[in-house]
Amino acid sequence: MELTKSDKELLVDLEKKLQKASNTFLGYPVSKDFNYDEINPFLKYPINNLGDPFEDGTYKVQTHQMEKEVIAFFAKAFRANPKDYWGYVTNGGSESNLYGLYLARELYPKAMVYYSESTHYSIRKNIHLLNIPSIIIKSQDNGEMDYEDFENTVRMNRHKPVIVLATFGTTMKEAKDDVSKIKAILKNLAVQDHYIHCDAALSGSFGPFMSPRMPFDFQDGADSISISGHKFIGSPIPTGVLVAKRSNRDRIAKGISYIGSLDTTITGSRNGHSPLILWYALKTLGTKGLKERFEHSLEVAQYCEKQLNNIGVKAWRNPNAITVVFPKTSKSIKNKWQLATEDDISHVICMPNVTKSQIDLFIEDMKNSKELVEEDIDFDVAFL
Ligand SMILES: *Cc1c(COP(=O)(O)O)cnc(C)c1O
């Protein structure tokens, strides 16, 4: 059966809508400047990466080789021990974080999880799913963990193993928790049993290129790190990466004869196209290309911050952030540019596809609507 005329019209319409919506978004951390035409032919195959990427199973329509290369790339970028790393390509940062926490809980079933109030919303759900007791740590004004509150809170519970969920690039302000500081505090309190998972969904893909470096990786003290693949790198399908220590995953691996592999991943069937997409991106960009993308983003973010300041908007950025934070904008701007807004702030995320001329258009809109902002805010408050 063929699509009817009206179904075909729906498709045409959908494409138009998607095209329009993706031309004006500045508020969500998703890159759009990718071209994966060369791997389109692989959509013909029922690829499924079932099982552990490092253990060959019975099902052969898979892309484990590419998946292993993607993991190796990030293991190196995150300075993992070359003899002690493992990982897999997930369906996104949330699954990668769930895995990091799962691994941590299996190692320390009696632990307490600590995470800051700026932590991504999906983490609470993950902790709930895993049924681990947790404590929320205060954030500083810039969104970074309040280390003093962390130290005091751990001190009161030091009889329990500690799992820390650190964030490298918080959702609203792109603040980066300092993993080496967290590690030093745990050492100082003589907490032997601890695990640090670094949620680097947003900033992990460009973390290695920051200058000066900011501490977040395996050598800084992380036990596992997650990133989202569809954010900075860009992908038509949501995807993510989890890198952990192989020695830790070995302690939870169970063999499954039905698939002839180890059941070490969260889901059974696994997307085999996204490892191919990430592999292709890494091969064509290389470390050099990723670094250039970051430098471009940083330059556009600096420009955006400066232009906003020039028209009297109090915009600011965290160190090495490609996210520009400013007081909440009017509803019309928020809707047109799809700006994420929380409490009293909005942000623009200068992903690699964002250009200075796009920022100019945005600044023009901001200039024109400045008077309206106050009214809008009053409106919001009245209806809370
Ligand atoms: C985006 C993001 C997540 C969730 O990742 P998904 O890929 O959307 O599942 C988690 N944590 C942080 C800090 C993020 O920016």
Given this model, what pLDDT does residue 81 score? 98
With beta carbons less than 8 A apart as the criterion, state whether 114 and 165 touch.
yes
Q: What is the CATH number of the domain that holds 318?
A: 3.90.1150.10
Tens digits of residue pLDDT in 45-68: 999 999 899 988 888 899 999 999
3-state helix, strand, coil in the chain (%, to 5): 45, 15, 40
Lowest mean pLDDT across 54-63, 170-179, 196-205, 299-308: 54-63
pLDDT band at 380 (very low <50, low <70, confident <90, very high): very low
Q: Are residues 26 and 134 in the same domain?
A: no
pLDDT band at 116 (very low <50, low <70, confident <90, very high): very high
Q: Are residues 11 and 52 in the same domain?
A: no
- As for how many domains the chain has, the answer is 2
Q: Give, for ligand 1, the residue of 30, 171, 277 to mutate: max count of ligand atoms closer than 8 Å to Cβ.
A: 171
Q: Are residues 196 and 257 in the same domain?
A: yes
Q: Are residues 108 and 215 in the same domain?
A: yes
Helix axes 93-107, 121-130, angle to 10 degrees: 40
**DSSP of 78-109:** TT--TTS-EEEEESSHHHHHHHHHHHHHHH-T
Residue at a domain's end among 251, 283, 315: 283
Residue 83 token pair: 């003899």
**Does residue 376 register a pLDDT over 60?**
no
- CA-CA-CA-CA torsion sign (206, 209, 214, 215): positive
Residue 49 token pair: 């990466």
Q: Are residues 192 and 168 in the same domain?
A: yes
With beta carbons less than 8 A apart as the criterion, state whether 46 and 270 touch.
no
Q: Are residues 239 and 312 in the same domain?
A: no
To the nearest whole percent, how much of the chain has pLDDT over 90?
A: 80
Q: What is the CATH number of the domain that holds 155?
A: 3.40.640.10
Residue at a domain's end among 225, 256, 283: 283
The predicted model gives 164-176 an average pLDDT of 97
**Does residue 141 register a pLDDT over 80?**
yes
Q: Give, for ligand 1, the residue of 28, 31, 94 to mutate: max count of ligand atoms closer than 8 Å to Cβ.
A: 94
Q: Which residue, judged by its Cα, is nearest atom 1 of ligand 1?
A: 201
Q: Are residues 91 and 154 in the same domain?
A: yes
Tens digits of residue pLDDT in 183-203: 999 999 999 999 999 999 999
With beta carbons less than 8 A apart as the criterion, state whether 202 and 172 touch.
no
Q: What is the pTM of this model?
A: 0.93
Given this model, what pLDDT does residue 100 score? 97
Range of the domain at 22: 5-32+287-383
Residue at a domain's end among 266, 283, 300: 283
Find, among 109, 113, 111, 107, the residue nearest to 126 by Cα: 113
Tens digits of residue pLDDT in 219-277: 999 999 999 999 999 999 999 999 999 999 988 876 666 667 777 899 989 999 999 99
CA–CA dist 304, 201 (Å, integer): 23
Q: Are residues 291 and 249 in the same domain?
A: no
